[in-house]
Amino acid sequence: MSAQSTLAPDEVAPRSRPAVSSLARKLAASPEAGVIIACVLVFAGIAANAETYTAVGNLQVMGRDLSQVGILAIGESLVILTGGIDLSVGALAGLAGILAGWMNVNEGLPAPLAILLTLVICAGVGLWHGIMVTRLNVPPFVITLVTYTVAQGTALAITSGSPINNLDPMFSNLSQYYIGQVPVPALFFVGAAAIAWFVLERTYVGRQIYAVGGNKEAARLAGIPTARRITSTYVASAALAGVVGIMVIGRMNVADPSVGAGWELTAIAAAVVGGMSLSGGEGRIAGIAAGAILLEFITNGLLALKVSPYDQQVVQGAVLGIAILLDRARARYFGRSRG
């Protein structure tokens, strides 16, 4: 019995070491784990140094801000999954707000109809992107940059640079109501994330989108309708940008043509920080949501710590740069180790 008891620890240790090593390796290979841990650490660190950070009012503000960043990031991530990029989401969100406000105030359309038509127009823009990318082989960077420029110019042309006032109260109701103490826009973000997760993780279409991003030619030879799958992601991205634009004018109670500039960078940053590979075919919605939450924690935290708002763009750019470097390093390391 004594011999067995002395040997037991020696027998257990070698077995536990590979298990621990395997678990650590899986965590390192999973970008979601890292960004979730970062969210916890950043939130705790800022909360310990800023008393107002965890106040209910500030958490509600973060919930509304998160809905804008998060929904744009979800749409952007769908495009990135196919190996593309959508630089128009920020400008398109701004234009969507202008279109909805203009149709409601200037044309006298009921708010629900103005919202519906705006979303249809945005989806049409996404369809145009998909056709240009898949049928004419226009680089995604180029065609979405064109839309970025046109959308900003159109918003200014419609309004002559002046905001649209006297919006229907329905717009503010969508953005400023609460369920309990949770802002409705935050619930929109949760709903968008849940739908995107279900489509990507639990449907055949989602698996095809991953396959197209992983190897487009192999996916085509396997019978996957690559053009349709790529186009669908651009349509979803543009439509979600429209949702964000409508929520923003409700929150501001005015349709301002200056809204939306630079939001595409935040969306891309959230997607990449959340583990979305810029080469396509890799990344999950849980990581994207965590990436958006992390950026919101940092942005709001800088204000809570009384850091100049102008420095936020510097931090955002730094976070995006670090995320891209880590993404490339992780991809090279684990790609080499699998080989």
Tell me which of 189-193, 275-279, 305-309, 329-333 is least confident.
329-333
Neighbour-count burial for 85-94, b at 16+ CB within 10 Å, e otherwise: bbbbbbbbbb
- Who wins on pLDDT, 331 or 131? 131
What is the domain class of 65-303+311-325 according to CATH?
mainly alpha
Q: For residues 78 and 324, which has the higher predicted lDDT (pLDDT)?
A: 78
Question: Please, is 265 exposed, middle or buried when counting C-beta atoms within 10 Å of its C-beta (0-12, 13-18, 19+)?
Answer: middle
pLDDT of amino acid 23: 59
Asked whether residue 8 carries a pLDDT value surpassing 60, the answer given is no
**pLDDT (average), residues 78-89:** 96
Report whether pLDDT(90) > 50. Answer: yes
Q: Does the pLDDT at position 339 exceed 90?
A: no
Give whole-number Cα distances, 195 to 168, 188, 212, 227, 277, in Å: 29, 11, 20, 22, 21
Q: Which range among 25-34, 120-129, 213-222, 314-323 shows the weakest confidence by mean pLDDT?
A: 25-34
**What is the 3-state composition of the chain as percent helix, strand, coil, each rounded to the nearest 5?**
80, 0, 20
Tell me which DSSP letter residue 84 carries. Answer: -
pLDDT, the chain, mean = 87
pLDDT given for residue 317 in this prediction: 72
pLDDT band at 308 (very low <50, low <70, confident <90, very high): confident
pLDDT at 335: 60
Q: What is the mean pLDDT of residues 111-138?
A: 97
What pLDDT score does 256 carry? 93
Res. 190: pLDDT tops 70: yes
Give residue 208's pLDDT.
96
30-34, 58-62, 231-235, 257-261 — which is least confidently predicted? 30-34
Does position 223 have pLDDT exceeding 70, yes or no?
A: yes
Sign of the C-alpha dihedral computed for residues 81, 86, 90 and 94 taken in this order: negative
The Cα-based distances of 152 to 98, 122, 248 in angstroms read 10, 14, 16
Model confidence, pTM: 0.86
In the predicted model, what is the mean pLDDT of residues 8-35?
A: 60
Domain positions in the chain are: 65-303+311-325
- Identify which has the larger pLDDT, 176 or 210: 210
